Structure 1
Amino acid sequence: MPRKPDPTRKPELLGRILEHLAGRTLATVSFRTLAEALGVSTYVFVYHFGNRSQLVDEIVRAIVARQDALLAVDPVDLDEPAWLQFIETAWTEVSTPYNLQLMRLEYEAAMLEMIDGDAGGIARSAVSRWQAFTKDWCIARGLDADVADVESRLFTDTIYGLQYDALATGDTERVTAAFRLHVRAFAARVRATAAAAV
Structure 2
Amino acid sequence: MARPRDPHRRAELLDAIIGHLTAHGVAGLSLRPLAQALGQSTSVLTHHFATKDDLIAAVLEHLDRRQRDRLQALPGWEEGRSLGAVIRASWEWHLTAGHLPLIRLLHEIEGLAAAGRLTGAYVPTMLGDRAEFVAEALRAHGVPDDVARANATLLNAAYTGLQLDYLTTGDTERVEAALDRLVELADSWTHQS
TM bucket normalised to smaller: 0.7 to 0.9
Question: What does the per-residue CA deviation read over 1:96-145, in whole Å, with 9 as the maximum and x for residues that have no partner?
Answer: 34433323332333344453675xx3333333334333433444444443
| Separation in structure 2 between the aligned mates of residue 127 and residue 5 of structure 1, nearest angstrom | 27
Q: C-alpha displacement at 1:154, in angstroms?
A: 2.4
Question: What does the per-residue CA deviation read over 1:12-68, in whole Å, with 9 as the maximum and x for residues that have no partner?
Answer: 121111111113321222123213322333332233323333223222322322223
Change in 2 beyond 3 A, CA 1:174/1:19: farther
Larger Rg: 1
| Separation in structure 1 between the aligned mates of residue 85 and residue 110 of structure 2, nearest angstrom | 28
Number of equivalent positions:
188
Aligned residues: CA RMSD: 3.4
Question: What does the per-residue CA deviation read over 1:124-173, in whole Å, with 9 as the maximum and x for residues that have no partner?
Answer: 33333343334334444444434434433322211111111122223446
Instruction: Give the gaps of 5 or more residues in structure 2.
Output: none
- Structure 2 contact 131–153 (Cα < 8 Å) conserved: yes
Mean Cα deviation higher: 96-105 or 23-32:
96-105
Give the TM-score of the pair, scaled to structure 2: 0.73
- Name whichever structure is richer in helix by fraction: 1
Instruction: Kindly report which structure 2 residues correspond to 1:28-177, keeping only aligned pairs within 5 A, or say none.
Output: 28-70=28-70, 72=72, 77-79=78-80, 81-114=81-114, 115=116, 121-172=121-172, 174-177=174-177
Change in 2 beyond 3 A, CA 1:54/1:150: closer
Give the TM-score of the pair, scaled to structure 1: 0.72
Question: What does the per-residue CA deviation read over 1:66-104, in whole Å, with 9 as the maximum and x for residues that have no partner?
Answer: 22314657x99553x443333222222222344333233
The code of the aligned residue for 2:99 comes to N
- Structure 2 contact 135–152 (Cα < 8 Å) conserved: yes
Change in 2 beyond 3 A, CA 1:13/1:165: same
